[in-house]
Structure 1
Amino acid sequence: MTALPPHVAIANHKGGVGKTALAHGLAVAAAEAGHRVLAIDMDPQASLTRRLRAQISPNPDEHLHASLAHVLERPAVGEIERILVPCGYGGIYSDRIRIAPSHLDLELVVRSAAQAASERRLLRAISGVVDDFDLVLIDCPPRLLCHLTDLAWTASDVLLIPCEGEYEAVQAARRVKERVIADRDTLNPKLEIAGMVVSRYRANLTLHRQRAVEMEKIVGKEGMCPIRLPEYVSFKKATENARPLAELGSEEKQMASLFRDVYKWSRDRIDTVMKEAA
């Protein structure tokens, strides 16, 4: 592991493509590999916060104060540490995964967008804190041109793009690449796209195979994760119930194994991209 862990944003310009599922699956797989994970939920819908069973107060005021929405108003260096809570699964997951929980009021952070260096607030908040982790995962909102995305990308080394085999999802992924290129000099000169992970894949559908070819044209053959995550109804049930896949039925355990493979590929690919960019 490196002295500073890779900061990985999970992003696409479209909702429902498996963005939070990928963030969740990678966090759990990393913990199973013995790695310590900082999971940052930058989506006001707080799906990652819920799926990891973040141990947050049921009191609305206390929850707000102990969320990213409060920290990012005007963060001190390393302030995110005060809101970090463990994953609620128990065992290795609680020991190895810490969550910076989201809140609906995170949407209001946009009010600070016009202030000088406001896009660096997340980077400031995590400074120093990340030294205790092996991986930082940032789950982005499903919007491209928004202040929360700016915050996430400014604090990231690389992007991973989840994408299902549908026209709109592929076009949204292409927009992500276009924005990285267009705003690299002003937002984050070091930001790179590590690759793309195909989600909700049906190998028996010609359309999905064709879309996978289109995805490869966006990130290149080396940027395409060779493991394609299938669409299992049981997997959706697992995420809805907020439980680790490895502790459920046979289909969920198979998906857990696939996520472990995706995590291994992702770490190898991220290391390669970061070395080439250095």
Structure 2
Amino acid sequence: MTSPEEVLSVYSETGGATKTTTAVSLAVASALEGEDTVYIDLDPRAAGTKWFDVEPRERGLDVAAILADPDPDGWAEDIAVPARWRQVPNLRVVPSGRTLSNRETSTEELSDIRLAVSLRGLKARRVVIDCPNRQGGPLIQNAMTASTKVLYAGKFDEDGLDGVEGAYKSVRRFKKHREMLGATDRLTEAGIVIGAWGDTVPTRDAKRAEQEFINAYGNLLLEPYVPHRVIVKESRAAGQYYGFYSKGQPVHQAYGALARKVFA
């Protein structure tokens, strides 16, 4: 039984760091390249699920069901639903669910591998996981164990710095834990994507934050930076993809360029 070739987790430990925008945008970019792609909403806030405006095939058939079952072998293929955006036919979504937050306190044996097990047989070359903004814990452990790559999402402000720093440390704790267990660790860092970039007149604080990112993470910082456009927020509220509109093209093109780097 096959599994996806690339599984990318998008991670930040603060809210409002463009994490969901980055995860959704990269999933769309991948699908528009002709790759069968699945977006997994692992965030209890379900922001991505709301943006896609999708519902489970049946009540309770969502990502929470995968993490609640001791043997969810192949479930992702059964639970994934088509994205409603007809312009992106190669994209499916595993929606979040109300009970997902209950899994954050799980202490069941081997509960950290359930998401990975569910991906067996998934008919998709790529998977993008939208992680919760949490420090470690069962949800993050599931994401990291299932993934081949982790991508940090940030902005050039203090919250963006804090979110990437926390996620960066959590990834290192995860990798150290896997090493201590003698377990396979295939997780690599894809880089840091900067969203909501004030490309017209960057503020002094944004320039300071940019320098701090460069000093702390060097080559992990990816370009291009993704420009801020109001159409992104408006499109999310309307359940549409901003790239369908001319005003959203600068953002869409930036994420397209980043997707080619991240999925290389």
TM-score, normalising length: structure 2: 0.89
2:154 is matched with 163
- How far apart are the structure 2 equivalents of 1:149 and 1:39? 16
User: How does 1:79-158 map onto structure 2 within 5 Å?
Assistant: 79-91=75-87, 93=88, 95-111=89-105, 113-129=106-122, 132-158=123-149
The question of 1:242 aligning with 2:235 is answered no
Query: Secondary structure of 1:185's partner?
Result: helix
Kindly indicate whether the alpha-carbon contact (under 8 Å) linking 2:10 and 2:131 is maintained by their aligned counterparts in 1: yes
Kindly indicate whether the alpha-carbon contact (under 8 Å) linking 1:55 and 1:87 is maintained by their aligned counterparts in 2: no
Letter matched to residue 119 of structure 2: I
CA RMSD of aligned residues (A): 2.0
Give the number of aligned pairs. 255
1:190 is matched with 186
Kindly indicate whether the alpha-carbon contact (under 8 Å) linking 2:67 and 2:111 is maintained by their aligned counterparts in 1: no
1:70 is matched with 65
Q: 1:103 to 1:4 in 2, by over 3 A?
A: closer
- Which structure 2 residue ranges, 5 or more long, are not aligned? 179-183
Query: Secondary structure of 1:14's partner?
Result: coil
- How far apart are the structure 2 equivalents of 1:56 and 1:121? 19
Query: Secondary structure of 2:166's partner?
Result: helix
Kindly indicate whether the alpha-carbon contact (under 8 Å) linking 2:231 and 2:242 is maintained by their aligned counterparts in 1: no
Q: Deviation per CA, 1:112-151, whole angstroms, max 9, x where unpaired?
A: x32221101111111221xx22211000011123221111
1:155, CA displacement in angstroms? 0.8
- How far apart are the structure 1 equivalents of 2:198 and 2:173? 33
Q: 1:9 to 1:258 in 2, by over 3 A?
A: same
2:45 is matched with 45
Q: 1:218 to 1:133 in 2, by over 3 A?
A: farther
Letter matched to residue 52 of structure 2: L
Identical-residue share of aligned pairs (%): 22
1:78, CA displacement in angstroms? 0.8
Equivalent of 2:206 in 208, 230, 247: 208
Letter matched to residue 227 of structure 1: P
Kindly indicate whether the alpha-carbon contact (under 8 Å) linking 1:180 and 1:191 is maintained by their aligned counterparts in 2: no
Query: Secondary structure of 2:209's partner?
Result: helix
The question of 1:29 aligning with 2:29 is answered yes
1:212, CA displacement in angstroms? 1.7
- Which structure 1 residue ranges, 5 or more long, are not aligned? 269-278
Runs of 4+ in 1 over 6 A off after TM superposition: none
Q: 1:117 to 1:159 in 2, by over 3 A?
A: same
1:172, CA displacement in angstroms? 2.4
Q: 1:127 to 1:179 in 2, by over 3 A?
A: same
Query: Secondary structure of 2:29's partner?
Result: helix
